Amino acid sequence: MKFHAHAPKLMVPSNEGSTHGLTLKFVLPMILAVPLLLKAQTDPPPPLNLVVPNGYADIEANSDLLWPLVAPGPVRFQQWLSNAHFPQGVLTITAISFRPDTANGGSFETENSSFLMRLSTTAVAGTDLSNRFLDNLGTDLTTVKQGTVRLSSKSFDTPTPDGTPKAFDVRIPFDTPFVYDTTSGSHLLLDIYNEFGSTPVNTPPSCLLQVTATIGPSGCNFDAILFADATTATVRRLRTSAGDGSLSDDLVGTGGLDNKGYITRFEYTFAPSQTAMEKIRKAKKSVVSEP
């Protein structure tokens, strides 16, 4: 005589008061899978990289720039970046990186004892930027890095083929991430105040001067782009002259407003969508709720 073993039944009440038998061997794996699903949906994803302006990740740009990342004295700086460079969505920006210029850069290390980096959105178009710092700032102005910041690059220790840009190894991780909703249509504004300038650390003093003497391995200049005019520029800058910096937002950029800016790389993640968050909430509720 043969006996047929049947899987045990899990009795779940229905809305009508009757019961339906659900095979435990099918239900149990689903229950056990919920925590793994929740973990996969709630663990932060690895950051994505975005080079601005787009198209320069593997191409050297046409100019170079020193201040304010490395500066001989106080300096204030803003860089406007068009929202056309950024993907659509809510971005959480967690770090920014720069790379040395292949012609006028070099391996270096400097310390900035009082360094302030802020980000904000701005509704101001590139052609309408003001010479007054305050006029360009958005209401969501956020301090992303503040304090003593040591910057260094070892890019020139490793030879690269001619025409190939150096690595983005001058990286500044943010103390406070910045949330940028690109769907708002606003542009991004980078605001830097280097209060006391930079001190060379095992680096030639000439590194601090943006002059002919810095060309070659003694220089600290960074890769930058220069646009022909404001109407085509998707990156622009406002700056004071070296030694003329101030944190006052009423400050006027004595160094002028032009169509130049650092080649930058942003690290970011997409904020979870409302749909994804709702799915997580429902899954959690189904696990803890009683039948």
Residues 6 or more apart whose CB falls under 8 angstroms from that of 279 comprise 41
Give DSSP secondary structure letters for 61-120: -SEEE-TTTS-SS-EEEEEEE-GGGS-SSEEEEEEEEE-B-TTT---EEEEEEEEEEEEE
The count of C-alpha atoms lying within 13 angstroms of the C-alpha of 144, restricted to the half-sphere facing its C-beta, is 23
- The predicted structure's pLDDT at residue 242: 67
Exposure class string for 6-25: b at 16+ Cβ within 10 A, else e: eeeebeeeeeeeeeeeeeee
Strands in 264-270's sheet, in edge-to-edge order, are 48-52, 264-270, 90-98, 170-181
- Predicted pLDDT of residue 279: 47
The pLDDT tens digits of the residues spanning 66-124 come to 889 988 889 999 999 999 999 999 999 999 999 999 888 888 889 999 999 999 999 99
Domain boundaries, the chain: 1-43, 48-270
At 48-65, the pLDDT tens digits run 999 999 999 999 999 999
Ranges of the chain whose pLDDT falls below 70 = 1-44, 159, 204-218, 242-243, 245-247, 249, 273-291
Instruction: Give pLDDT, residue 124.
Output: 97
**pLDDT score of 111:** 93
**Spatial distance between the Cα atoms of 192 and 212, rounded to a whole number of angstroms:** 25
